[in-house]
Structure 1
Amino acid sequence: MSRKPSISLLPIFALIVFTAIFLALTVRVSFFASEGPDEVAHFYFDRFIAKYGRLPLTNEERSEAGYKADLPPLFYLLAGLTAQQLDLESGPRIRTTRNNPRLQLVAGLDNVKAWRMIKTEDPLQGEILLWYWGRWLTILTGLACLVATFVLLRRLFPDQLWLAVAGVALLGFLPGYIYISGITSYEPLAGFLMTLFLLLLLHTIRHPARSWSYLGLGLLLGLAALTRHTPWPVLPLVPLLIIWLAVRQGWSWSAMLGRIALFAVGVLVTFGSWVLYITLYFNRIDELGWFQGILSPLFIGDGSGTTSQQIASVITGGELGINDFAPQSDSFWQWLWISFSQVWGADWLGGVMLVVWVVAMMGLIRRWPRENDSTRWWIVLLLIYIPLLMALPFLRFVFSGNASSMMGQHILFTAGAAMVVLLIYGLTAWSPRSTY
C-alpha cells in the first residue's frame, strides 16, 4: 500500500513564527508611529462614517469628512461602520492642526503644517480609540493579503511548501509593507482584494469554461476599484482575456458575450454602485453638460487630487481640471529606480535586490521553452498586470516631471503577490530541480 508523502513541520513552524513577528512589528508600529501618509485625512473620513453611518451627501458634508471623501470609500466604510458603537462625542479627542486657531495663533499661520496629528498619551477611548481602530483594521487586512499570497503560492507550487513560506516572508518583511500595515491605510485592503483576484484569475486560466469565475473576477476587481484608484487600469484586462480564451477555446459568440456580461455585472454591482452614488449626489450636469458633469465628480472632486485633475484635463481637451503640466525634470530611469527602491529597498539593499531581479528575469527566459501553454500565458498575464498597476503612478510622474512623486505603497500591496510569483518562477529556473 502506497504511503502519502509526509508534510514537514519545519516550514509550518517557520510560518507561525513569521506571522507572530509580523503581528508584533505592525502592532508596535500602530502604537508608536506618528501619522503616516494622509492618515489624518483617513481618520476624518472614518470618523464621519462612524458618526453618521453613511457617506457624505452634500459638499458641506464632504468638507467635514476631509479631502479623502471623494475617493473610493470601501476601506472607510469598513472602518467607520464597524466603529459606530464608539462614543465619539466625549473625550479624549484627536489633536490635529486642521483649522486649529490656537495653534495658528501661537506658531504663526505659515509655520503650521496642515493635516497633521499632535501625538498625545490619552486613554484608548473616543476618537483616540477610533484612530487606533483604523490602524488595527489595516493590520488585519495586511495579514489577510499575506494569507492570500500564501494560498496563491501553494496553488502554483503545491509540492514546495518552503517556496510559499519564503515568498510570503519576503513580501511581509519588506520595511514598507510592515510600516504601511501598521498605520491607517487602504493599500493593504486593495492588495488583499487584488491577490484574491489573482487567485481566481489563475483558476480561470486553468478552468476557462466555468462561467461563475467571470462574475467573481468582476466582483473582486470591482471591490478593489472601490478601495483604490490603482486597480482601475486593470479593468479592461479581463474582457480582453475572455476574448482571447474564446478564440483559443472555440467558444460561440453567445458564450463569449455571456462571460463578458457576467464580469460586467460583478463590476457594476460593486464599483458601479459608487459611480452611481457620485453621479446622483455630486454631478454637475446642469452646469457642464452630461459628459463633463459626470466626469467632474469622478476626477475633480474637491480639487485636492492634482493627478486626477490633469487626467480630466487630457480627457476633456483642457476644459476641466488642471491644464498646467510641469516640464520634465527627471528621467524615466530615475522614476523607475525610485519605484524599485521604495518597494525592495534603497542603497545597498536596493542594489542587491536589483541583481536578484536580473537573475530572476534571466531565469524566466531560461524556463520559457519547457513550460506548458497554461503557465506561459499565466506569466504573460503577470507581466501585463504589474505595469497596468503602475499606470497611474507613471501618469503622476509624467504630469509632475518629478520622479519622487512615486510612493512604493502604491504598487507594493496590489502588485506584491504578482512580483513574488515572478521572482520565484525566475529564481527556481536555476535550480537542478526546476520542475516547479
Structure 2
Amino acid sequence: MTWLSSYIIFIYLVLAVAYSIVTPIGRGADEWAHYWYAQFIAQHGRLPLNPAERETAGYKSDWPPLYHLGAAAVTAWIEIAGPPTFKYRAEPEYIRRQIIPAPRSEAILHTEDELFPWRQEILVWHVGRFLSIVFSLGTLWVTYRLALEVFAGSKVAGSRGLPGAEHPAGERGSEGAGAQRSRGAEGHGNRAPRFTLHASRFTPHVLALTCVAFLAFIPRFLFTGMLFNYDSLTLLIASLFLWLGLRIAKGYYPRWGFWGLGALAGLALLTKYLTALLPLEIIFLAFISRGAGGHTPSGAPKGGRGGGESLVSPSPPRSSAPLLHLGQAILAFVLVTSPWFSYLLVNFNEVEAYGPVLGIIAPLLRGDGSDRTVEQIFAWVSGGQTPPPAYIDQQHYSFWQLLTQFFATFWTNPINQPSLLDGFIVAMTLIALVSILGLVLWWRSTLASSPASCRLLLSLLLLHCSLPVPLMLVRLFGARDTLEAVQGRHILFLAGPAIVILLVWGLSRLTPHAPRLTFQALIGLLLTGSILQLLSMWQNYPAPLPVQTTPYPVVDAVTPPVSVELPGGAAAVAAQVEQVDAALRITIFWRGGPEPAPEDYQMELALMDGQGQTRASWLGYQTQARYPTRVWEAGDTIRDEAWLPLAGLARGDYDLRLRILSQSGPVVDWQTLSPYTFTAPVAQPANESNTWVLWQEGQVVSTPPLLRERTTAQFTSADFSSPSASLQLIGPDAVSRTAATAGNGWANFVVGPEWPAGEYRWQPEGEVVLRVAPSQRNFQLPMVTHPLEANFAGQVKLLGYDLPQRRVQPGEGLPLTLYWQGLRWMGEDFVIFERLLDNEGMAWGGYDRRAKENYSTLFWAPGEIVTDGFAVPVDAAAPSGVYHLSLGWYRRAGEQADSLAIINPATGQPTESTAVMIGPIKVGGPPSGITMASVAPQTEMNVTLGEQIKLLGFDLANQQMSQAVPVTTPRLLASSPLYLTLYWQALAAPQTDYTVFAHIRNAAGETVAQKDSPPAGGVYPTSLWDAGEIIKDEISIPLEQIKPGQYEVVVGLYDFTTGERLPVAGVADGAIVLRLFEVGQ
C-alpha cells in the first residue's frame, strides 16, 4: 500500500506542478481577483475597510477571506516592487497593449518575465499556486480516509453468511481490531447479515487508493486544484466535513462530533459561499443518523480506529438528543463565522440607505454589487427598494449545449473546439453513467437485506453531491452566460471525493469478476486524459511574448557597429548571430524608447556575398508582430528573432545587413550588422513534390503551417535557379498574391490582414502550401442605406451610414450605424465626436467615443471595414425641432482636441471642414410656428399627391402679405412679389424629402417665373412630417420680369434627387393649377 500511494502522490505532484507552470498567469477562473485580494491583505496586513479599498482589492474582496488570508501569509515575504512587473492590458494609459490579440479574460500581457527563475509578483503567483496544490494534496488524503470509512467490511453474504466465511485471507487481516470486536459482538446472539460496498477481490485500502487515483487524475481536478483561487481550500474543508459526518454516522465522537461539524461548516463558509448549504447535512445527521452514544445494543464499543470497522445490524436506536446536537453545531458555526459577519456589518452596513433590516442584510447578501444574481435576489428581498440590475441580453443555449458544457467542465478544462479531450469526455461520462447503473442495480438487489447504516451512508454521499445544485440553478437566472453557471467544476470542487467514491462503488458492483482490470483501465484512461489536457494546454496557450521588463542575460552578444534607432527612441542594443543546423539565427535586442512608435515596423535582413548579391533574405514585422513596435515601452527589452536559410550556399565570406521599413519606406536604411564566414555547406532539404520549400524558425516544415496575420512565410527553392519574380500564392478566394520580397531562389511572403482564412497553393489545384488562420476583421462592406465618402486626414474614411429612424424623443437615444474604413495602420487612438445640433448650431446631444465603444483605431488594419452601431443620446431638455448630427474625428493633444480635416477627393488636400452632417432629425415635435391645428384657407383644394400629402388650400396676396387677393380673377402688380401660402397635410409619414415647385406659366404653358424650395423654407423637411400634421408653407415669387398679361400659378412636389414629381390624379405632369391672374404695370 505504501509504494502504491507514494506512486499516486508522486504522479499527481508532477502533473500538478506541470499544469501550474504551463498555465499562464491569470488564465484560471477569477484568478486575478483572488490575487488582488490576497495582495491587498499582504500589503496592508488587514482586510479592506471601505468601498474604495474594496475597489482596489478587486471584485472578490466582498467574499470570505480564509483562502486569501492563507495566500497572503505564505507570500507576504516576497518583495513585489518591480521589475519585473505585470503589463496590465486594461489600464487606460496603456491602451496600446491591447493591440496584441488576447482572450477577453486576459488581464495582462504574458511576457518572458514569467519564465523561470521567478521573481517579484511572478513568484507570488507560483507560491500561491503551490499552496493550492498542498490543499489539493490534503484533499486526496481525506479522500483516502473517506473511502476507508465507506468500503470497510466484506461483501454481502445474505442470511447464510458468517463473518468468518466472508473474508478472504487478505481482507481478514486488513480489517484490524475493529472487525474482530464486531465478530465478538455477533457472538452475543445478534448474528445478522452484514454488508460491504466493495468486491471481494479488493481490500478496502486498494479501493480507497483507487478513489484517490480517480480524483487525482481527473484533468479538471489537476487544473483547478492548482489555481490561485479558493476552490482547492473549499474542497479540502468540505471533504473534512464529509469525513467527520461519516464518522459521526458510524457512532464516533459523541461528545464533540457536532461541534466539529459546525466549525468545519463555518470554515467552509469563510472560504466560499457555495458551501452555504452544508448545514443541511448537519440537520440530516442529527435527525436521521444512528445514535452516537456510548454502546450499541449489540455491545459494539464506541471506539476504534477509523476505516477498519464494519457496520452491523440491527441498527441502534436513533439519537435521543438531535436538538442538542444541532445546538452544538449552530454554536460552533456562529463562533467561527461571527468575526467575518461582524466585520461586514461594522464596515459595510447600508442602514442609512435601506433602514435597519435591509441595511444589515445588504452587506451580507449583496457585497459590492458586482454579482448580478445576488443583486437580483436582493432587489426581490428589498421589495423594490433597490432596483434590479440593468437588463442584459442573456445568451441562450439548448439543453444539449448546457449538458455537454457540464460534463466537459467536470472532467476537463476546455480550451478550444474540437479538442483532443472530446473522446475522453465521452468515455468518462459513459463510465459515470455505467457506475450509476451499478449503484441502482445494487440498491434494488440489496434493498431488503441491507442494513440501515448502508442506506444512511449512501444517502449522506448523495446529499453531499447534490448541495451545489440549487445555487447553480439560481445562477442560471442571473448570469449573462448560462454556460458559466452550469460548469461541472462547481460540483467537483465541493463534492469530488463523494462523487469518485460513488463511481468506484458502482463500478465494483458491475465488474465483480474482473475488478483489477477494470480499475487499472480506469486509472489508465484518467492518466491519458490528464496528459492530453497538459498537451492541449501546451499547444494552445501561446508562448510568452519576446519581451522582458528586465534585461536579458545575453551571452556572446555583440553591440551593433552602427546606431540603429527608430522613431520614438527605441534602439538596438545587442545582436546575436549563430548557426543552428541549416539556418542562421539572428537575434536583435531592442530597448524601448521614451515615446511610442507611430507604426509597426518591418525588419529586413540580407546575407550578401562578395558580388553584392542577396543569397538569403528575411522580411517580417518586428517580433513577427507578436509584440509589435507600437506596443514597445520605456523599460522594455525586446528580443527580435529572424532566420536565414543556409541550404545551398557556398563557402565564403558574407555580409549580414539590416534595414527597417515603415509603410512609406525605409526609416533605417541598409546597415551592416556583422560579417559572417560560412565554412560548412548545408545540404539542400529533400523536396520531392515542390520546387519551393517553406521554412519556420530555421527548419523546413513538412506539413502546411497555420499562419496568423502579419506572419512571414519564408521560401527557398531547391536549386536556387527557380524564378521568383512571378511567384504567387493562390488563396481560397482565387486571388493571386505576390511575395513581399523575392530574389534568386528565395521569397518572403507577409500574410496581410486582408488575406482570407483558408488554404493557399501555388496552383489552383495543387498541394496546400500553407493555411491562414481565421480573423475577426472584416473587409467586405455590407449593404449601406446612405452611402457616402469622407476621408479624414488619410487615416479613416466614412463609407456611409444607416439611420433607421429620423424621429426621437428628448432623453432617448437615436440609433445610428456608421461604416468606417481604416486607410493605414494607425499609431494614434483617435476619438469620434458626435454633436446633435439645432438650427442655431447649439448641441443638444451626442458624446465622444471610440468606434464600437472600445475598438481603438490602434487596432484597425488598412482596408478593414468597421461597422459601428450605437445610439446617439439626446438631451432630455432638447426643444422640439429639426436637428442635424455633426460627426468627425480628433486626436488628443494634451487637454485640447485636434480635429482631423476632411480631404478633398479631387485635389487630395485637406479642407477646412472637419465634420460630416447627417440629418435631418426630428426631436420631439415639429419646429415652433410651422404646424397648425386647423386652417381656413382662402381657397380650399383638398388635392392628394402620391397618396402621401394633401394640399388643403392656399392664400394668395400681392403688395403686402396682409392684402388678400379678391376671389375674382385678380390683377397683380409686377412691382410686388406674389405671396403664396400653401397648407399641406401629411396623410402618412413620407420617406423622402420633397421639394415644392411654384411656377408661373403663361398662356402658352411656358414657365416665366418660379420658386423651388423645400416646404417651410427647409426648416421642416417632409421626411419628418407625421401623419395628420398641417404645415404652413409661405412662398414669395418675384414678378418684376413678367410682362403684362394673363398667367396661371401651379404647384406640386418632387424628389430633388431624382426629379420625379409626386403624381396627382387627373394631372399628367403632377402640377396643380391654383389660379389664373393678370399682371399689370
After TM superposition, the score normalised by the length of structure 2 is 0.37
Distance 2:35 2:253 in 1: 44
- Measured after TM superposition, the shift of residue 246 of structure 1 is 8.3
In the other structure, the counterpart of 2:440 is 365
Q: Where do residues 38-117 of structure 1 align in structure 2 (5 Å cutoff)? A: 38-98=30-90, 100-105=91-96, 107=98, 113=104, 116-117=107-108
- 1:223 is matched with 267
Shift of 1:305: 1.4
Give per-residue Cα distances to partners, 1:1-54, cap 9 Å, x unaligned: xxxxxxxxxx53232222112111211222231122111111111111111111
Counterparts of 1:209 and 1:407, CA distance in 2: 36
Task: State which of 404, 413, 426 in structure 1 corresponds to 2:493.
Answer: 413
Equivalent residue number for residue 18 of structure 2? 28
CA distance in 2, matches of 1:324, 1:212: 49
Deviation at residue 145 of structure 1 after TM alignment:
1.0
Residues 1:197 and 2:189 aligned together? no
1:329 aligns with 2:396: yes
TM-score, length of structure 1 as denominator length: 0.88
Query: Matches of 2:395 and 2:269 in 1, distance apart?
Result: 30
Aligned mate of 1:183, from 227, 233, 239: 227
Paired residues in the alignment total 422
Counterpart AA for 2:422? D
Separation in structure 1 between the aligned mates of residue 351 and residue 46 of structure 2, nearest angstrom: 24
Residues 324 and 383 of structure 1: is their aligned pair in 2 closer, same or farther, counting only changes over 3 Å? farther
**Equivalent of 1:425 in 489, 500, 505:** 505
Question: Gaps (5+ residues) in structure 1?
Answer: 1-10
Distance in 1 between the 2:220 and 2:19 partners? 12
Q: For the residues of structure 1 that align with 2:359 and 2:422, how far apart are their CA atoms?
A: 47
Correspondent of 1:136 among 121, 130, 151: 130
Residues 344, 353 of structure 1: 8 Å contact kept? yes
Are residues 1:152 and 2:146 paired?
Answer: yes
Structure-2 change in CA distance of 1:118 and 1:206 (3 Å): same
* Cα distance in structure 1, aligned partners of 2:149 and 2:468: 23
Alpha-carbon separation, structure 2, partners of 1:371 and 1:401 = 47
Using the TM superposition, give the Cα deviation of residue 349 of structure 1 relative to its aligned residue in structure 2, in angstroms.
Answer: 2.6
The answer to whether the aligner puts 1:301 opposite 2:367 as a matched pair is: yes
- SS across alignment from 1:132: helix
Q: Which amino acid aligns with 1:423?
A: L
Distance 1:134 1:327, change over 3 A: closer
Once residues 351 and 112 of structure 1 are traced to their aligned partners in structure 2, the CA distance between those partners, rounded to angstroms, is 27
Within 1, Cα distance between the matches of 2:226 and 2:235? Answer: 15
8 A Cα contact 1:330 1:402, kept in partner:
no
Cα distance in structure 2, aligned partners of 1:402 and 1:64:
26
Aligned: 1:384 with 2:463: yes
Partner of 2:886: none
Distance 1:228 1:271, change over 3 A: same
Percent of residue pairs bearing the same amino acid type: 31
Residues 70, 301 of structure 1: 8 Å contact kept:
yes
Deviation at 1:91, TM superposition (A): 3.8
Output one character per residue of 1:136-169: Cα deviation in whole Å (capped at 9) or x when no partner.
1111111111111112112222433221122111
Counterpart for residue 1036 of structure 2? none
- Cα RMSD, aligned residues only: 2.9
Residue identity matched to 1:371? S
Cα distance in 2 for partners of 1:415, 1:216 equals 19
3-state SS of the aligned residue for 2:273? coil
Structure 2 regions of 5+ residues with no counterpart? 153-202, 292-315, 413-420, 515-1081
Q: Which amino acid aligns with 2:267?
A: L
> What secondary structure is seen at the aligned counterpart in 1 of 2:368?
coil
Cα deviations by residue, 1:50-87 (Å, 9 ceiling, x for unpaired): 11111111111111111110011110000012322222
Q: Partner of 1:399: helix, strand, or coil?
A: coil
Structure-1 separation of matches of 2:118 and 2:143: 33
Which residue of structure 1 aligns with residue 453 of structure 2? 374
Matched-pair contact (CA < 8 Å) for 1:40–1:115: no
Q: Deviations over 1:79-122 (max 9, x none)?
A: 01232222234543333234x23421564799995761222333
- Match of residue 271 from structure 1: 337
Q: Is the 8 A contact 1:246 1:256 kept in 2?
A: no
Q: 1:250 to 1:413 in 2, by over 3 A?
A: closer
2: CA distance, partners of 1:79 / 1:211: 33
Letter in 1 for 2:456: W
Contact 1:97 1:112 in 2 (8 A): no
Cα deviation, 1:328-349, whole Å, max 9, x if unaligned, reads 9335564344223321356333
Whether 1:351 aligns to 2:438 is no
**Which residue does the alignment assign to 2:326?**
260
Amino acid at match of 1:126: Q
Q: Does 1:338 align with 2:405?
A: yes
Q: Distance in 1 between matches of 2:496 and 2:233?
A: 13
Counterpart of 2:627 in structure 1 is none
**Whole-Å separation in 1 of the counterparts to 2:6 and 2:123:** 29
Q: CA deviation at 1:365?
A: 2.4
Cα 1:376–1:291 shift into 2, 3 Å:
same
Question: Which residue type is aligned with residue 95 of structure 2?
Answer: Q
Q: In structure 2, do the counterparts of structure 1 residues 110 and 422 end up closer, same or farther at CA, with 3 Å as the change threshold? A: closer
Deviation at 1:355, TM superposition (A): 2.5
2:350, 2:208 → 1: CA distance? 50
My pick for the range that moved more, 401-410 or 379-388, is 401-410
Which deviates more, 206-215 or 261-270?
A: 206-215
Deviations 1:206-237 (A, max 9, x none): 11770311010111111111111211122233
Query: Distance in 2 between the 1:110 and 1:358 partners?
Result: 40
Higher RCO (Cα < 8 Å, 6 or more apart):
1
